[in-house]
Structures are given as structure tokens and as C-alpha cells.
Structure 1
Amino acid sequence: MSVLHSRPAPISWRHELAATSKLAWPLVLTQLATIALSTVDVIMIGWLGPEELAAATLATSLIFPLTFFGIGLLAATAAMFSHEIGAIRLRGVRRTLRQGFWVAISLCMPCLVLLWNSESLMLLMGQDPWLAASAADYVRIAMWGLLPLMCFTVLRNLVTAHSRPRSSLIILVLAIGVNAMADYALIFGNFGAPALGLEGAALATLVVQCFMLLAQTLFVVTDRKFRRYNLFGRFWRPDWARYIEIMKIGIPIGLTVLAEAGLFAASAFMVGLFGPDQLAAHAVALQCTSVAFMVPLGVCQAATIRVGLAMGRGRILDALLAGRISTFVGVGFATLTALVFWFATEPIVGFYLRLDDPENATAIAFAVDFIRIAAVFQIVDAGQAVGAGNLRGLKDTTIPAILAFIGYWVLGFPAGAYLAFTYGLQGAGVWMGLAVGLTAACFALIMRFELLMHRTIRRAGATA
């Protein structure tokens, strides 16, 4: 019997929609909790003023691409944990965790060197000297949280592979409160703390990332299910084959994430050339789109699991349905957020910049324009995210990384630069370029999934 016909008929779309939604919602909540950390930072730094918000945007535009690349690379440990758990290889789980930490350490070392020289890098890119110096002060504190965050990611992948993501969600929710209190204390000098301004926000970020790692570590060393692994035993013993395996699986995923994160980081540096007001507006619009993107990102993770499960069981038609349903869910939500962005723009901006402050008027006007452009590309941004998740379910990561790079950097970045500088649209042109890149990636990734699935169906039918 062929693989195609291993099931009498594909499952119904209602069943798949229910299964995808059930799997996606805790993942979505986890992603929303993650982005809430940076949202609190943006809101409180925005209270300091547009200049400080602009400097923080430059700083995070250096840190975030490195962070996203590391998280993407370490996503390989989730699949490796799952294989070891399924085969009941306790030592394999411990070795994967150990090498995940090794990869995190080896990744962070060159990143710290790069970030330490952030002021020189920003000046080379033509940024305002005051903004570059203020951003560098932020980076040189916040960068030390990169390693704790990477190690937390490895531990979170471990508990998720055991189908127990709730602990990570609880930790992230607690971290939001810790971050808010630390920001309020260290930025403005409350609770007896010194008023450190922008540097206080960076210190609060470092504190919360260390808290997350400590809390997740305490959970895995005290929980009965994880104690049996002796997870931190023989930590210094190398396992180079496993280390290389993490790199081999994870680098294409990391590069895919980096291609998009790098595009948004480069857009911040381009917008920064047009002054602090436009850069502050960019920060507001970027944070809004980032929050909205967390839902499609959670659906993306669910899509990887649903498509992968169906393919592992040899149910090709079910895998095709799972991919299409996931795309429908992600794009459907993005359509709703696009409508909110378009019709409630000024109230949204008011969360970040005080609408009654005359000094904010210019930044607010730019933010309104940028968010309305972002509303237009919400749909394709969701489509490319879920499209990438569907392909990961097929273990297809290298070609999607290339397609994403072409969409973002060969099409999107040059389009943004042309519209901003040659056509004179400045920051609005940069955001239009983002729309071009995301649209290209969306159609390329969705079409690749459809082509691969139909090719698999034809091959299965030929062997029937």
C-alpha cells in the first residue's frame, strides 16, 4: 500500500483547525509573554523622550539580530531532544543539553566582542554621535544578558520537548513583572534605586534575563521527571559529533531568522539617518508589528509540529491540509490586526508617546504613517512566517533560508533604500521596502511548500 493511501481519507478541515488551534494557543501566549518584556522597555523608555527612545532603538537593532540568530540556531536542540526522549536515551538528552550550552557559549563570545565596539560601528554607519554614544552605553550593559538568554532557550526547548511548555510560560509571565518593576526603579529612581535613565533600562534587561535562566534551571533540577537525567553531570565533557549536529541543523534556521531580523535592524539604521523623531517613530511602529507578529510566530511553531507529525505517520494529504490550515489561521489573525492598526493608529501610538506633549508631535505624526504602512504588510508577514514553519515540518530549511535572503535583502532592502533616498520618502520609504521584502518571501515560501507537497503526492501515487 502506498504512503498516500495509508489512510482511507484525509482528516476534515474542522478536525485539523481544532488540533492546530489547541496546539498553537500556549505557544502564542509564550511568544506574547516574550515580546511583552521588550514592550515594557519601549513604553518606559518612551516616557524619557524621543531621543532616548531613538538611542535604545539603535542599541536593540544591534543586539536583536544576534539574539534571534542564536535562538534560531538553538531551535535544533528541540528536535534532537524529541528524538532522544522518544528513544528513551537518557544520556542522549543530557549530552544534547550540554552541547546546547556549549554552542550558546561559543556563539556568544564573538558577539560580545562585536557589541563592545558598538559605538564605532554605529558611527561608521553615519549615526548621530550623541545617539551612538547613548546606544553604546546601553549595549555594554545589556549585552551580558545574551548568554543567560541563550542558555534559557536551551532549557525551554528541553521542557517543550517533554510537552510541558507551561513552566516556561509561567516564568515569562513572572519575568514581565520583574522587568516592569526593575525598569520603574532603575530608569526613574523609584523604590530607593538610583535614576539611571537609559542605562537603567539596560540593567533591568540584564536582571530579568538572569532571573529567567535561574528560574528555569531551578525547575529542571527540582522536577522529578528531569532529575533522572542528571542534566548537569559531566558538563565539561565534549561531544563534538553532537555539537556539529546542532550546528548543521540549526544554522539554516538561524540564518532564516537572521535574514528577517537583520532587515528590520538595517531599516532602523537607515531611518536613523533622518533624525531622532523618525527613529523614535520607527521604534513605536516596530514594537507594534512585533507584538502582532507573535501570534503568527506561535502558529508557525504549531505548523512545524502538525506538518511533521503527519509526514512522520506517512499521511501526506493530512500534512498538506495542516500546512494550509496553519496558513489560514496565521493570515486570518493578521488581517484582524491590520484593521486595528489602520483604524486605531493614534490610540496605539499613545501607549508609547504622550499625545498631549507638543515635543512629541513630529514623532507621533511619523509613527502614525509608519504603522499604517505596517498594517498593509501584516498579512504577508504572517504568511511568510507560517510558510517557513510548514517547510520546517518537512525538514526543509536550507532552500527556505536562501529564498528568505533573496526576498529580504535582494528585493526588500534595495527597494527601501531607493524609496527612502532616491525617491525622497525617507522613513516611509524604508517601511515600504520592508513590505516588498516580506511580500516576496511570503509567496516564495508558500509556493515552495505547495510544490514540495504536490511532488510528494505524485511520487506516492506513482508507487501505489
Structure 2
Amino acid sequence: MSSTTTQKKTGIGWTTNSRALLTLAFPLILTNFAYVALTTVDIVMLGRLGALEVAAAGLAIALFNQLRTTGTGLVTGVSNLIAEANVRGDHTRIRELSFAGFFWATVSGAVFCVALLSLGPLLIWLGQDPAVVGKAGDFLTILAPGMLPCLWFQNLRHVTTGLRKPGPLLAITLVSVGLTIGLNYVLIYGKLGLPAFGFVGVAIATVTVFLFSFLAFTAVILRDRTIRQYLSWSGSRRWSPDAVASVWRLGLPIAGTYASEAGFFSVLTLLIGTFGVGALAAQTVLNQIVYIVFMVSAGLSHAASVHVSEASGNADYVKARRLGLLSLAWGVVAMLIVAVPYLMIPESIVSLFISAEHTTDAGIVALTVSGLLIAAGMQIFDASQNIGNGILRGLGDTAGPFRISLMGYWLIGLPTSYALGVVADWGVQGVWMGQTIGLAATAAILLLAFLRRVDRLRKPATDHPALEAIIS
């Protein structure tokens, strides 16, 4: 075969794989936007109430997202396990895995709800402003029970993704966004004959939309005959100790990785909180802006993970390698596009969330703008490490990303953030720079781990066993 023919076939492969990857990723990204829209609308509305409200809700939402992310990680492996079972045509296994996911979503959701309601004294001990902690506690009292429908929705999402039928997510996305906006307005300001709940109205609206999203998604997907057979309570046995154990074995390291990443950001938020209410308000707004864009890489990561799992199930590691690199490339391209408005119109972006005329300290706006300029580079590394986690998971490696996250976030990122922010006295900007360094290190190690693992699967022997032991 001529080199020209080989290049043409390779080009076709890259194009075909890109199309397949983006086709699955697009509805997942939209679903991610549905969830981020909840907190985005919350922050925008709270930004009109004042810096204290933004800081308190930001702290509460950060803690909620820390545990929500961990619970989501616990059931994330459901999509990979179902994808593998679907390739084999094992319908009984798919049914058992679906219910095993619901089991772990319920257990973790209940535990996390209790944990969120008990954090007040710990936060004060960690140096947070008592006024901020008090309002955050009021917010969490209402928000915490929303953990259960939130995680149930996530499990349903992973079931449908594993079956490569994520279509209904789009409708839920659009309706949820509109409902969030409407409920926030009605409950905060007291419209349609309802009392004005003010600050806590945001939490009531968020929990209501969580529940609605789960119920609506359930109703929609049960209309699909293929999916319905795996979720029906009637018929053959659903409970399987082996399926429950399989979801746990695959999900626990994923949950650990997600918790490590989310915990890294949460600890940095607590560190920034010691700089004052203004710094915490700026961190809340910046986190939300970054979180919105992060949903693009999260969708790419999940889609790539499923595709890599299918390629691995067929022992096609050349395709698995190509898919992994493709997803990373698309993630970087997306973040470069986002970086353009960050660099050109940062003030306009920040003003969508909070403005000087709605705060007592105009310096909060300037501080957030400076953080957005740092985020332009940070998000490239954040996307790369997120996709790196997904493609390694697709190869069946969930313990490796957990170890790598501990190294990149906690041994590199956190000490660097403290050194630049506190020791060097660069303040919030120093913490953000240290965070960027930690994400860059994590992304680099994950990419190296993916390449070595997929090449090892193609060629079992390795010339570097010591390095292999660290990254695989």
C-alpha cells in the first residue's frame, strides 16, 4: 500500500472518529450546561443582592458541588460498564448495572446530605467569616436534600450514555434553564402571590429544578423501548451483588479522583476566604465563569471515555489511542476559542455576574477581571486533565488518575498556591497562578500515562518498568 493511500485512510479515520466523538459529546455538553445553568443563574441573581450574599452562596455551592462531584464519580463508571455489556449484547447485565448505579447514588446522596448540614462549626474553625458561614448554613439547609435527585439524574444520564442514547438530555436542558430563571425571579422577589424569600429563594429554586430534571428525564426516557427494558421494576431480577460490587470497584477510584480535584478547588476557595468577603466573592464569580466553560471538556471527556471503552472492548488500541488524542485536541481548540473573549472583553464578561453598582466594593470587579485573564490559560490545562481522566478510564484505568490527581493537585498545586498567595503575598492572584500550575502538571502526567498505557496494551513489554509503576 502506498504512503499516499495510507495517509488518505488515516485522514478518513480521524474525520470519522471526530464526527462520532462530537456527535456523542454535543448532547452531553448541553446536559452539563443544564446543571451549570442552575448555579450560573443563582450567582447572577445573587450578584444583584450584594457581596455577602454572593460570598455565602458561593461557599455553600462550592461545598455542595464538592460532594455532588464525588457522588457523580461513584456512578460514572456505569456508562463504561454498560457500554462494554452493550457491545456483548448482555441485556441482563445492563439491567443489573442500571439498578446498581441507583443504589450507590441513593446511599452516597443520603450520606452527603447529612454531611452538608453539619459543616458550620468546621468552617468557622477553618477561619471563615462567621457572617458568611451563617448565611451559607441557611442556604445549605434547603439545598442539601437536593443531592438525592441530583445524583439520581446523574445515574440515568450515565445509563443512557452507555447505551449511546443521550438524545432526551437536550429537551431537559432547555426546560431546566428556563425554569431556573423563572423560579429564581419569583422566589427571590415574591411574585405570583408568593412571599419574597430573598437569599434562600435561590436555594429553593435550585432544589426544585433538581427534582424536576430527574422526574422529567425519567418520563422522557421511559418512552424509549430500548431504555425502558433496563429500568422497569417488573420482570427478571434486578439486584445483583456482582453488579453492585463492579460499580463500586470502578466508581470508587473515579469518585476519589473527582473528590481530589473538587477538593483541591474547595480548599483553595477556603484559603481565599481567609483574605476577606471581597476575595471570596471574586472567587465565587470566577469559579462560576470557569465552571461554565469546563462543561465543554466534561462532555468531551465522557464521550471520549465511552468511545475508548468500546475500542478497548474490541481490542482496537490503535483506534483507542487516536480517539484519546483527538479528544484532547478538540478540548484544547475549544479552550483557545474561549480564551479570546476572556482576553478581549473581560470586564464585559464579569459584569454579567456582578457589577460595581451592585456591590459595596468596586475592587471586587477589578479583582475578578484579573482572575479571568489568568483563567484564559488555566482552562486549557483544566480541560486537558479532565479529558485525560476520561480516556484513561476508557482504558479501564481508574486508580492511575486518582494517584496522579493526588500528585498534581495536592503535592504541586496546593503548596504552590499557598507559596504564591500567602508566603509571596501575591494574594488571590497568587492562589490562582498556583492553581494553574497544579492543573498543568496534572494534565501532563495524565497524557503521559495514557500514551504509555495504550502503547503497553498494544505491545505488552515495556522498557521503563519503574516509570510504568508510577503512572499506570
What's the TM-score once normalised by structure 2's chain length? 0.90
Determine the structure 2 residue equivalent to 1:169.
170
Determine the structure 2 residue equivalent to 1:280.
281
Determine the structure 2 residue equivalent to 1:148.
149
1:397-416 matched pairs, under 5 angstroms: 397-416=398-417
Deviation (angstroms), 1:360: 4.2
Contact 1:97 1:231 in 2 (8 A): no
d(CA) in 2 for partners of 1:364, 1:88? 55
CA spacing shift, 1:93–1:308, aligned 2, 3 Å: closer
Determine the structure 2 residue equivalent to 1:289.
290
d(CA) in 2 for partners of 1:441, 1:37? 29
Deviation (angstroms), 1:355: 4.1
Report Cα offsets for 1:427-449 as digits up to 9, x if no partner.
Answer: 11211121111011010001111
Deviation (angstroms), 1:153: 1.4
Determine the structure 2 residue equivalent to 1:362.
363
CA spacing shift, 1:81–1:13, aligned 2, 3 Å: closer
Structure 1 residue 299 and structure 2 residue 296: aligned?
no
Which consecutive residues of structure 1, in runs of 5 or more, have no partner in the other structure? Answer: 1-7
d(CA) in 1 for partners of 2:425, 2:135? 28
CA spacing shift, 1:232–1:396, aligned 2, 3 Å: same
Determine the structure 2 residue equivalent to 1:239.
240
Contact 1:281 1:367 in 2 (8 A): yes
Query: Which shows bigger deviation, 51-60 or 225-234?
Result: 225-234
Query: Which shows bigger deviation, 75-84 or 37-46?
Result: 75-84
Aligned to 1:207, what secondary structure does the other structure show?
Answer: helix
Determine the structure 1 residue equivalent to 2:397.
396
Report Cα offsets for 1:17-65 as digits up to 9, x if no partner.
Answer: 3333333222222222321221111111111111100000111121111
CA spacing shift, 1:196–1:332, aligned 2, 3 Å: same
Contact 1:185 1:192 in 2 (8 A): no
Query: Which shows bigger deviation, 355-364 or 122-131?
Result: 355-364
Structure 1 residue 263 and structure 2 residue 279: aligned?
no
1:205-354 matched pairs, under 5 angstroms: 205-229=206-230, 231-233=232-234, 238-354=239-355
Deviation (angstroms), 1:227: 3.8
Aligned to 1:190, what secondary structure does the other structure show?
Answer: coil
1:115-194 matched pairs, under 5 angstroms: 115-194=116-195
Contact 2:84 2:310 in 1 (8 A): no
After superposition, the CA RMSD in angstroms is: 2.4
Determine the structure 2 residue equivalent to 1:72.
73
Report Cα offsets for 1:210-262 as digits up to 9, x if no partner.
Answer: 10111122224444334444623499975332222111010111111111111
Aligned to 1:359, what secondary structure does the other structure show?
Answer: coil
CA spacing shift, 1:71–1:336, aligned 2, 3 Å: same
Query: Which shows bigger deviation, 56-65 or 165-174?
Result: 165-174
Q: Which amino acid aligns with 2:61?
A: T
CA spacing shift, 1:190–1:227, aligned 2, 3 Å: same
Deviation (angstroms), 1:358: 6.5
CA spacing shift, 1:31–1:229, aligned 2, 3 Å: closer
1:59-98 matched pairs, under 5 angstroms: 59-98=60-99
Q: Percent identity?
A: 33
Query: Which shows bigger deviation, 77-86 or 114-123?
Result: 77-86
Deviation (angstroms), 1:142: 0.2
Determine the structure 2 residue equivalent to 1:45.
46
CA spacing shift, 1:242–1:23, aligned 2, 3 Å: closer
Deviation (angstroms), 1:121: 2.0
CA spacing shift, 1:168–1:25, aligned 2, 3 Å: closer
CA spacing shift, 1:362–1:230, aligned 2, 3 Å: closer
* Count of aligned residue pairs for this structure pair: 455
Q: Which amino acid aligns with 2:429?
A: A
Contact 1:349 1:367 in 2 (8 A): yes
CA spacing shift, 1:443–1:227, aligned 2, 3 Å: closer
Aligned to 1:75, what secondary structure does the other structure show?
Answer: helix
Deviation (angstroms), 1:460: 8.9
Deviation (angstroms), 1:417: 1.4
d(CA) in 2 for partners of 1:117, 1:305? 37
Determine the structure 2 residue equivalent to 1:5.
none
Which consecutive residues of structure 2, in runs of 5 or more, have no partner in the other structure? Answer: 1-7, 463-472
Determine the structure 2 residue equivalent to 1:423.
424
Q: Which amino acid aligns with 2:176?
A: A
Deviation (angstroms), 1:181: 1.1
CA spacing shift, 1:400–1:368, aligned 2, 3 Å: same
d(CA) in 1 for partners of 2:18, 2:224? 33
Query: Which shows bigger deviation, 96-105 or 275-284?
Result: 96-105
Contact 1:94 1:232 in 2 (8 A): no
Aligned to 2:362, what secondary structure does the other structure show?
Answer: helix
d(CA) in 2 for partners of 1:9, 1:179? 47
d(CA) in 2 for partners of 1:77, 1:52? 37
Report Cα offsets for 1:267-323 as digits up to 9, x if no partner.
Answer: 111111111111111111111111111111111122213323333333332222222
CA spacing shift, 1:218–1:12, aligned 2, 3 Å: closer
Contact 1:353 1:360 in 2 (8 A): no
Q: Which amino acid aligns with 1:215?
A: A
Deviation (angstroms), 1:380: 1.1
d(CA) in 1 for partners of 2:353, 2:88? 49
Contact 2:80 2:306 in 1 (8 A): no
Contact 1:24 1:298 in 2 (8 A): yes
CA spacing shift, 1:411–1:460, aligned 2, 3 Å: closer
What's the TM-score once normalised by structure 1's chain length? 0.92
d(CA) in 1 for partners of 2:319, 2:161? 24
Determine the structure 1 residue equivalent to 2:466.
none
d(CA) in 2 for partners of 1:187, 1:334? 34
d(CA) in 2 for partners of 1:22, 1:460? 35
d(CA) in 2 for partners of 1:86, 1:209? 32
d(CA) in 1 for partners of 2:15, 2:293? 25
CA spacing shift, 1:239–1:165, aligned 2, 3 Å: same
CA spacing shift, 1:212–1:384, aligned 2, 3 Å: same
Query: Which shows bigger deviation, 18-27 or 434-443?
Result: 18-27
